[in-house]
Amino acid sequence: MSVALPTVFIGHGSPMNALEQNSFTASWAEFGAVIARPKAILSISAHWYTRGSFVTAMSSPRTIHDFRGFPQALFDVQYPAPGAPEFAREVVKLLAPEPVTLDQDWGLDHGTWQVLVHMFPEANIPVVQLSINQDAQPAHHLELGRRLAPLRDAGVLILGSGNVVHNLGLADWQMAEGGYDWAERYNDLTRSRFLAADYGALAQYESDGPDAKRAIPTAEHYLPLLYVAGAARASDPLRVLSDSLVMGSLSMLSVQAG
């Protein structure tokens, strides 16, 4: 019997991480090197935040450069992984009765490819993206992760890509390392909840008070963590891949279940 693949949440940070070699990108590369080769990857990226739910269903997803003001070298990056239309239809079935639309327009945004260029640089594993429905409550995102969990037994890597603490409005762009006190506290709280498998508490972040309001001014970078928590199992070993804050208000915490 094959062993279920892990599920992983990556704190992806700046798009420049696609080009850089640092402790964060090294942890992504190590993860990709030590796990069993996935048959496919399902990515839930902070950068596809939609009204309703969508899943990419094209055979050749484009590389989306959804940012501005970065060097040309970053815009030159391509991640030509194949899509998987049949797998996309399987995702739709698993999430039922959630209405999920098969999408032919999106592709792979930088929340996905800036991680995968390090994790699986050959770009030869099929990749499908699932959008984040901004109209759904946090507990519903956790439930969708639970519905996706059987994919792990079929050789699918469920990847969440975002940041636990993500407040660019309060970022100190000259502060390469370290975090504000409130950012450190909320990062620590989230990490401890995940490692204690207290996934229900992760979905109740909106009632966590001032630290959470600063850490999560908008939900899209936090919610991918709930899909990974939902896809985790009671028997899973839990570990931290990397854990640091940069620019005062950006957490690079990455965690794995399984």
148-201 pLDDT per residue, tens: 999 999 999 999 999 999 999 999 988 878 999 999 999 999 999 999 999 999
Please, which residues bridge with residue 239 across strands? 256
Average pLDDT over the chain, rounded to an integer: 96
Q: Which of 184, 179, 186, 185 is nearest to 247 (CA)?
A: 179
The pTM of the full predicted model, rounded to 2 decimals, is: 0.96
For residue 81, what pLDDT is reported?
98
Q: What is the largest CA-CA distance in the chain?
A: 51
pLDDT band at 106 (very low <50, low <70, confident <90, very high): very high
107-152 pLDDT per residue, tens: 999 999 999 999 999 999 999 999 999 999 999 999 999 999 999 9
Give the domain ranges of the chain. Answer: 7-257
Query: So what CATH class is 7-257?
Result: alpha beta
Task: Compute the distance between CA of residue 65 and CA of residue 86 in angstroms, rounded to an integer.
Answer: 26
Please, which residues bridge with residue 56 across strands? 103
Residues 6+ away with beta carbon under 8 Å from 97: none
Listing DSSP states for 101-124 in one string gives EEESS--B-HHHHHHHHHHSTT--
For residue 49, what pLDDT is reported?
98
Listing DSSP states for 119-139 in one string gives HSTT--S-EEEB-EETTS-HH
